[in-house]
Amino acid sequence: MHPLDPPAVDADVRAALDVVLDDLLGKRLAEAQAVEATYAADLARRVIAFTAGGRRRRSQLLWWATRAAGGGQEEVHAALGTAAALELIQTCALIHDDVMDDSRLRRGEPALHVALALQYRMGGGDGTEARFGKSAAVLAGDLALTWADDVFTEALLRTPHPAALSVQWRAMRNEMVAGQYLDLHTQVTGSRSSGRAMRTAALKTAGYSAAHPLVLGALLAGAPERTARGLRRAGLCAGIAFQLQNDLQGAFGSPEHTGKPFGEDLREGKATYLLAVGHARCVRRGDTAGLKLLETVVGRPSATDAELRRVLDLLVALGARAHVMERVAELSARAVGALRQADLVAGPTEQLVRLLVDAVGLPLAGVTGTERVADEASRGGPSLRHYESVTGGVR
């Protein structure tokens, strides 16, 4: 069996993608070396090394969506090429995100801008190295985005559906930038809106983390619009659930688990749904002491660990953490329900269910143990139609 035959890819999607990435990135490195050796060594090699990490979750979603929509041998190369492009988009997003957040660590190691600054540390102490590291990391992220577009363009040559795929790809990139900007805008304006936090999560994370990979996979297989819509619904719900769970981990998770320093998200003042719920509950209860704690500690880089723990205790006491956890479970159940109601091939669909639930970090039985998906609207929460409207539905 050829290593890129559908059954072989099914058996180990990550390994198949690594074969494709090794070939693609090897060619990009050779091109970079032909242009300029220092640029290739400092930036191109780092982009390649960064892309080699990660869990390949988006790529696996795309592959299994292609298979669930009936894709086979004819779609293998285009699907894996598009998946490789997604991995490079992820590299771009994470490198730039670390620069904007001034994060010191990524995956337990120095963030790329920090590593570059350390490489050229001269001991002057005037901030030159830090500025260099951030500027160079912006270029590294740009390089990853350029490569992603190049790889995606090459993948389009192998599919009979280039127009629909191109529209989806452009929408994904546009939403990513819009979501990232909303994140920055919310921080600088001090917004405490839970609606804004949810919209940011949908645009910044849910789209490119789940919804777009699933729809791209369906389009590669030539699936009808109703199938793409079902996959988008599933991906949007799962992607928002993933972001909410990530917010919980950013606040309550241990550095050993998150790979980042304790309280980094709180010190940065990330405008999460968790904090928005906490703030709203303080207002409703007239808890002036709680409001003062949130407003004086969250977003203050010099906040002590003890102060941050007081914030976490407050969020627990207010029921904010429990509320977000319930939202995660509800959205995960909706994602599973949307997948199982779509017109998809059974086996690959179950692979998608497992991937989405695993991405959120919940046990499969806890999400799929009931026959009926919870109706959020009946509980006073946002409906599925609301989540879809955040990013404009299927394109």
CATH number at residue 54: 1.10.600.10
Same domain for 64 and 176? no
Residue 7's CB is within 10 A of a number of other CB atoms, namely 10
Residues 148 and 235 in one domain: no
End residue of a domain, out of 125, 144, 159: 159
Do 175 and 324 lie in one domain? The reply is yes
Point out the domain boundary residue: 159, 182, 203: 159
Calculate the CA dihedral of residues 151, 157, 160, 163 and round it to 10 degrees: 60
Alpha carbon 343 to its chain centroid, in Å, reads 26
Please enumerate in sequence order all residues whose Cβ is within 8 A of that of 13, keeping only pairs 6 or more positions apart, or say none.
56, 59, 60, 63, 64
Both 216 and 308 in one domain: the answer is yes
- Same domain? For 23 and 87 the reply is yes
Measured at the CA of 207, the angle between CA 327 and CA 24, to 5 degrees, comes to 135
**Cα–Cα distance, 367 to 290 (Å, whole number):** 33
**According to the model, what pLDDT value does residue 190 have?**
84
Q: Please count the residues of the chain.
A: 395
pLDDT of residue 121: 84
* Interatomic CA distance for residues 317 and 160, integer angstroms: 55
Contacts of 72 (CB under 8 A, 6+ apart): 6
CA 85 to chain centre: 15
Q: Mark whether 357 and 226 lie in a shared domain.
A: yes
Query: What is the structure's pLDDT at 388?
Result: 47
Is there a single domain that holds both residue 138 and residue 5?
yes
**What's the pLDDT at 1?**
56
Number of domains in the chain: 2
pLDDT at 395: 34
| Domain identity same for 8 and 56 | yes
Domain end position, chosen among 92, 127, 159: 159
pLDDT in tens, the chain (395 residues): 567 899 999 999 999 999 999 999 999 999 999 999 999 999 999 999 999 988 899 999 999 999 999 999 999 999 999 999 999 999 999 999 999 988 888 888 999 999 999 999 866 566 889 999 999 999 999 999 999 999 999 999 999 999 999 999 999 999 999 999 998 998 888 888 889 999 999 998 899 999 999 999 999 999 999 999 999 999 999 999 999 999 999 999 888 877 778 888 899 888 899 999 999 999 999 999 999 999 999 999 999 999 999 999 999 999 999 999 999 999 999 999 999 998 899 999 999 999 999 988 877 655 654 333 333 322 333 344 444 444 344 33
Residues 280 and 138 in one domain: no
**Both 146 and 172 in a single domain?**
no
Convert 15-48 to b/e letters by CB count within 10 Å (16 or more is b).
Answer: ebbbebbeebbeebbeebeeeeeeebebbbebbb
Residues 94 and 183 in one domain: no
Q: Give the domain range for residue 335.
A: 162-395
Same domain, 56 and 149: yes
